[in-house]
Amino acid sequence: MDAVPIVTIDGPSGSGKGTVSREVARLAGWHLLDSGALYRLVALLGARAGLDPQDVDGHAALARSMEVEFGSDASGGERVRVGADDVTRAIRSEEAGQGASRVAAWPAVRDALLERQRAFARPPGLVADGRDMGTVIFPAAALKIYLVATAEERALRRYKQLKQKGSGANLAALSREIAERDQRDSTRAVAPLMPASDARIIDSTGMSAAQVVEAVLSQGRSLGLWS
Ligand code: DC
């Protein structure tokens, strides 16, 4: 087991990892690693810098050198900054998500982000959200969760999320994008999306976020990670 206790929460796009990880970290008083945000940032900053979308070395260099600051806003929501630039909204666009999925398939980019991700492990503990948290980044984590939900339910959740934020959304297009992203993330050669052999699988289809959070908290409680 790691010196600092770690809980990993992996799963496909729209499985609810982000919401659940944030809430579990908040309730436990632990740190949070949103690893998807790092891949989204590499894609976003690459596009802003005018990098060729196929420029692997250029994106890997960005992944190594970018200065990111993760914080929270007044209501506990995510706040991501690169220098003075607030990129919280920009990294959440579907375009940044698709770009992230593309750059995430490159081993050089994954390597460049490896130590940066491990550095998030600080006392009293870390909740790490992503695709390969339990398989590659924190293989000795105390608790590994793999969250799944049907593709229909995941598309619907994204749709509602985008609507709530006031962004335009099209359910059929979202379903297509989720299916495409699943396919790319789970068939890539390096760190493909899959549960660790010792992960506990939670199917969140038909469950509320609060119910999933409680399921994770109860698993952690039974391991003595928190009270
Ligand atoms: O979780 P997310 O939607 O923010 O992730 C965006 C993309 O980044 C996703 O399609 C795959 C990639 N990703 C990854 O390959 N490994 C991670 N640990 C996290 C995200």
Per-residue pLDDT tens digits for 166-225: 878 899 999 998 888 889 888 988 888 899 999 999 999 999 999 999 999 999 999 999
| Residue nearest to ligand 1 atom 12, measured at CA | 101
| Predicted local confidence at residue 191, as pLDDT | 83
| Residue nearest to ligand 1 atom 10, measured at CA | 101
User: What is the rounded distance in angstroms from the CA atom of residue 145 to the CA atom of residue 137?
Assistant: 14
23 lines ligand 1 (CB under 6 A): no
| Predicted local confidence at residue 18, as pLDDT | 92
15 lines ligand 1 (CB under 6 A): no
**Which atom of ligand 1 is nearest the CA belonging to 133?**
18
Q: Give the domain ranges of the chain.
A: 6-221
**Could you tell me the pTM of the whole model?**
0.92
CATH class of 6-221: alpha beta
User: What is the rounded distance in angstroms from the CA atom of residue 154 to the CA atom of residue 156?
Assistant: 5
135 lines ligand 1 (CB under 6 A): no
